[in-house]
């Protein structure tokens, strides 16, 4: 009997979560810290409020995660000279290194998935995945 779409999505999710969990454990990151680092771009500062939203956390929980990322050396404060009230953060060099490691694992995972997709089906395949992602996104 063929698997349902939901079963296939769950299988893909489990496979990806396994990879994510593996790198998170190796780097000593919680799921929220992992999402926080992935939400940032090297050299760009972001407000704690925006970072909390990107992590899917409340402002207070996001603030605690940001504090831990600062304590662990992955983030640093980036206050604006003209408005010291705004609390922004950005990746440190250690944070950028971790982001590169995570990105490398993600690219390896993507390559493993796409290696068996015929070139002439790749565009339709990615469009279908994008559509599924849009449908299930909260």
CB of 63 closer than 8 Å to CB of 47: no
In this model, does residue 137 exceed pLDDT 80? Answer: no
CATH class of 5-136: mainly alpha
- What pLDDT is attached to residue 116? 87
Which pLDDT band, with edges at 50, 70 and 90, does 84 fall under? low
- Tell me what the pLDDT averaged over the chain comes to: 88
Pairing of strands 75-77, 88-91: antiparallel
In this model, does residue 97 exceed pLDDT 70? Answer: yes
Region of 77 (left: φ > 0; alpha: ψ -120 to 50; beta: rest) is: beta
- What pLDDT is attached to residue 61? 92
Domain ranges of the chain: 5-136
- What pLDDT is attached to residue 76? 93
Give CA–CA dist 110/100, Å, rounded. Answer: 15
Q: pTM score, two decimals?
A: 0.79
88's enclosing H/E stretch is strand 88-91
In this model, does residue 21 exceed pLDDT 80? Answer: yes
Tokens (6 digits) for 128: 């279908």
- What pLDDT is attached to residue 138? 67
CB of 62 closer than 8 Å to CB of 51: yes
């Amino acid at each position: 009997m063929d698997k349902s779409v939901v079963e296939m999505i769950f299988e893909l999710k489990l496979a990806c979560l396994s990879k994510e969990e593996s790198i998170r454990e190796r780097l000593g990151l919680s799921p929220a810290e992992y999402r926080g680092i992935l939400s940032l771009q090297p050299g760009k500062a972001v407000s704690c409020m925006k970072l909390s939203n990107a992590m899917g956390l409340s402002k207070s929980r996001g603030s605690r995660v940001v504090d831990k990322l600062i304590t662990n050396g992955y983030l640093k404060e980036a206050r604006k000279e003209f408005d010291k009230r705004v609390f922004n953060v950005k990746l440190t060099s250690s944070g950028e290194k971790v982001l590169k490691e995570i990105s490398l694992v993600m690219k390896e995972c993507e390559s493993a998935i796409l290696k068996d997709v015929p070139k002439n089906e790749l565009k339709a395949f990615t469009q279908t995945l994008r559509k599924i992602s849009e449908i299930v996104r909260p």
